[in-house]
Amino acid sequence: MTQVPSATSSPGATSATVNLRSVPDPAAPEPRTLLVTVTGDDRPGVTRALFAALEPLPVEVLDLEQAVLRGHLSLSALLAVGEREAEVKAVVQRTAYELGMTATVSAGYGDNRSRATGRAVVTLLGSPLRATHVALLADRLARHGANIDRIRRLSRYPVTTIEFDISGADLGALRGEIAFAAAGAGVDVAVSPAGLARRGRRLIVMDVDSTLIQDEVIELLARHAGREAEVAAVTEAAMRGELDFAASLHARVATLAGLPDTVFDEVRAAVRLTPGARTLVRTLKRLGFTVAVVSGGFVEVVAPLAAELGIDHARANRLEVVDGRLTGRVLGPVVDRAGKAEALREFAALEGLPLHRTVAIGDGANDLDMLASAGLGIAFNAKPTVREQADASVTVPFLDAVLFLLGISREEVEEADALDLATVE
């Protein structure tokens, strides 16, 4: 072992007080190691029994992993054993036999092989998730020379979500190819940077119409003017990117001229949240994340909805009202495709967060700039052109599935809900 000093002396001093810490000598030979794997029916006390049996021996634990799948336990330990290899093997085999389990022991040298650079997290969502989907992902990873380091399940309901920690991948190239293949296979996938990029506070910015809510607000307003079918056709074309959003918005708003402003209360009462919307916002707020909405719809409906859900920031268009009636005009600049991206950047600046710590969620062509600007852009039940360009896609009708793309499991969400309920009671 080498001794590495950590000096605390001042400039020009002739002596120094140092803290010494031991670090491995890179020139030293690799120690003899054993990889021990114990498998069998899961029950409390297995880990305790194994390590209590090993305690009298000079064993150093270099790595330890455990997984339980439908009551079947697999416990693996990498141990530096020195000259006591035979004794360690015998103890492991005897302990496993006493537990009614199976043990395998393989010898080697040194620690785990260092994981390659290019670490990422690939999240696979399916309802149902089929073997074909996992095979497709594994094939694409292998083609890129990526290694799967760890796998865990994040949810079984409302979708099955599996998270893969990988290394050795070109993140940009892998993301594009997997997204294209997944779209053709009818499964959702996301590729995200690993490490600190997935931890810490984030800003989540959502579209409103057909994302946070199931409706298009302007169509609900148009229903009161008897122009719903006409407006719906224009909205659909604009969301596909076939029409300029600002021009289409002005044309649709013109059909609302003459409606009383009491229509806002009626529309707010008719709005239907997307399934999972409350769970998504509630969980993000528990994590200390900032949540914002930005909409090509109207602040008269969006702002009260955001306040009800505890959303931090909201931006939308404002309708002109004169003498209690809508004039058919929009006040100020239109919140369009570019406006949504600008809102995301402004919200991030207000919160002191860099763009790589932002997540954008949307469904239409007017969300594309926002999705591209964010660290992670998620297409939610989106038009084909949006799915193709987003970093990730969710095609199930549950907005809280976004949580799984952020590495949050269904069990963690349910435990937090149960704890809140117990606190209230």
Catalytic residues, which ones?
A: 207, 209
How far CA 411 is from CA of 257, 296, 406, in Å, comes to 49, 35, 14
Check: CB of residue 59 under 8 Å from CB of residue 80.
Answer: yes
Kindly state the greatest CA–CA separation across the chain.
92
Helix (H) or strand (E) holding 305: helix 299-309
Ranges assigned E (strand) in 275-342: 290-298, 313-322, 325-331
Phi, psi of 276 (to 5 degrees): 90, -5
CA angle 270/271/273 to nearest 5° reads 140
d(CA 276, CA 130) in angstroms, rounded, equals 23
Helix (H) or strand (E) holding 417: helix 410-424
- Listed in sequence order, the residues at least 6 apart from 221 whose beta carbon sits closer than 8 Å to its beta carbon are 256, 259, 263, 267, 298
Torsion of CA 238, 243, 249, 254, to 10 degrees: -120
| Amino acid identity, position 176 | G
d(CA 84, CA 32) in angstroms, rounded, equals 10
Q: In terms of C-beta density within 10 A (0-12 exposed, 13-18 middle, 19 or more buried), how is residue 8 classed?
A: exposed
Check: CB of residue 161 under 8 Å from CB of residue 123.
Answer: yes
